Structure 1
Amino acid sequence: MRIATENDLKDIVSIYNSTISTRLSTADTTEVSVESRLEWFRQHDPQNRPLLVHEDNDKVVGWVSFQSFYGRTAYNHTAEISIYISTEYRGKGLGRSLLAESLRLTKQLRIKTVVCFIFSHNIPSIKLFRSFGFEEWGKLPNVAEMDGKEYSLSIIGKRVNE
């Protein structure tokens, strides 16, 4: 993994957009543009809240985002994590590798608690995070509506450093 550059944003957006139709990973229902994600990209501070990419044969095939939780000073030691993987690499252990490497980085990033928001029906992602000791800390029932169906959101978390 390495710190993402703006040159990677096209690939990051492409991977993200590839998940939209699955209705498993994001509440976006239409594709996003590179331009619309530029400000989000620039909010990632490599020293505290990095956006990281994983390459295979010089091609970005997955990415990890650390974002500040709730945007208030008292939450500075808590970060939200998101992991997205290109279609052809899903289900092959890359998510496990990215999560393991990301959790190793939390100490140097001064992160004590990691949270993630996962659709409750996204069983593969929930299983992945649970295999690393994450627990369900809450559930928001039927808060998302896509294609005329309602979906619940699970809040998954773990204390990673003291």
Structure 2
Amino acid sequence: MITYVNATLDDLPFIVEVYNSTIASRQVTADLQPVSVESRIAWFEQHNSQKRPLWLIKYQNQPCGWVSLSSFYGRPAYDKTVEISLYIHQDFRGKKIGQTAVREIESFAKQVGIDAILSYVFGHNVPSIKLFEKMHYQQWALLPNIAELDGIKRDLVILGKRFD
């Protein structure tokens, strides 16, 4: 059973832990060093339950990851477009939690008037690309060699899905 609850500040250490656990793989985030809970407070506060949620994902009542919608580009004309972030703890991957979370947050997005969701994925992150393609996201942009991870240039793929 998978459930979602609005994250509280008390959940931020877990959220940061899951995020930091992905840094070493060089597949998921452009951060190269672990981030602190304190450094993520402003990011946390940019979320709200009305249009930019940050949900803690629970699997059988145990925290297993998080999903959020963030504003795209920070200008009013883009208010109906959001960026999705999805991080699943390594012990819970392969249980279709990601698919379920994307489906659930898409349903929420439609209800609050969101027209499009963007996902920023490194080109070499095949599991994430496959997840979003399975959920009917399409490649909207390719930014070649714009990231450098341990001396290796990496592409950024922007996947998108419209609801109107």
Deviations 1:80-106 (A, max 9, x none): 001000010112211111111111111
Q: Identity percentage over the alignment?
A: 47
Check the 8 A contact 1:64/1:82 in 2, yes or no: yes
Alignment partners' CA distance in 2, 1:57 and 1:154: 33
Check the 8 A contact 2:51/2:109 in 1, yes or no: no
Q: Provide the secondary structure at the position in 1 that maps to 2:74.
A: coil
Alignment partners' CA distance in 1, 2:38 and 2:62: 21
Alignment partners' CA distance in 2, 1:119 and 1:11: 24
Residue 75 of structure 2 is aligned to residue 97 of structure 1: no
Residue 33 of structure 2 is aligned to residue 2 of structure 1: no
Deviations 1:45-98 (A, max 9, x none): 110101011123543211011001100011011000010000101122111111
Alignment partners' CA distance in 2, 1:80 and 1:14: 21
Alignment partners' CA distance in 1, 2:94 and 2:147: 25
Q: 1:30 aligns with which of 8, 30, 33?
A: 33
Under a length normalisation based on structure 1, what TM-score does the superposition of the two structures give?
A: 0.96
* Structure 1 gap segments, 5+ residues each: none
Give the letter for the 1:55 counterpart. K
Alignment of 1:134-145 (within 5 A): 134-145=137-148
Residue 78 of structure 2 is aligned to residue 75 of structure 1: yes
Alignment partners' CA distance in 1, 2:13 and 2:131: 26
Q: Provide the secondary structure at the position in 2 that maps to 1:21.
A: helix
Check the 8 A contact 1:53/1:63 in 2, yes or no: yes
The number of residue pairs the alignment matches comes to 161
Under a length normalisation based on structure 2, what TM-score does the superposition of the two structures give?
A: 0.95
Alignment of 1:3-152 (within 5 A): 3-152=6-155
Give the letter for the 2:110 counterpart. K
Alignment partners' CA distance in 2, 1:55 and 1:114: 23
Give the letter for the 1:124 counterpart. P
After superposition, the CA RMSD in angstroms is: 1.0
